[in-house]
Amino acid sequence: MLKNDHYTYRVTWADEDGEYVGLCAEFPGLSWLAGEPEAALRGIRRVVADVVADLQANGEPVPEALALKNYSGRFMVRIPPDLHRRLTQEAAEAGVSLNRLAADKLSRNQG
């Protein structure tokens, strides 16, 4: 296993395979199937550790863990002009900025 493993893992049921699948957000091409969720997590962590070791051995860049990155809280989103107009109107009617309205809407839709 990796020392100081801070990568983002998720285990979910893969109905088409009839098993649990372990995934890693920083390595979207990797997965591990197992009959138990704990085994799927152990498996994907081993695969990631092996891939990181290979990348390091070959002098290739290793993805930074999402948990260790710094986020500014800003990102640009392109939307159709008619949606922009409707959201601006909605924000004005609510007495808030467009930024506040968008942030509120995004926070209500967190998965």
Whether residue 75 sits in one domain with residue 56: no
pLDDT digits (tens, 9 = 90+) for 54-109: 999 999 999 999 999 999 999 999 999 999 999 999 999 999 999 999 999 999 87
Whether residue 95 sits in one domain with residue 58: no
Q: Is residue 75 part of a domain?
A: yes
Q: What is the pLDDT of residue 111?
A: 57
Decide if 11 contacts 31 (C-beta within 8 A): no
Decide if 23 contacts 12 (C-beta within 8 A): yes
What is the spatial distance between Cα 12 and Cα 2, in angstroms, rounded to a whole number?
Answer: 22
Whether residue 100 sits in one domain with residue 53: no
Strand-pairing partners, residue 9, are 24
Q: Is residue 4 part of a domain?
A: no
Whether residue 50 sits in one domain with residue 80: no
Whether residue 57 sits in one domain with residue 20: yes
Q: How confident is the model at residue 4 (pLDDT cuts 50, 70, 90)?
A: confident
Whether residue 89 sits in one domain with residue 43: no
Domain count, the chain: 2
pLDDT at residue 6 tops 60: yes
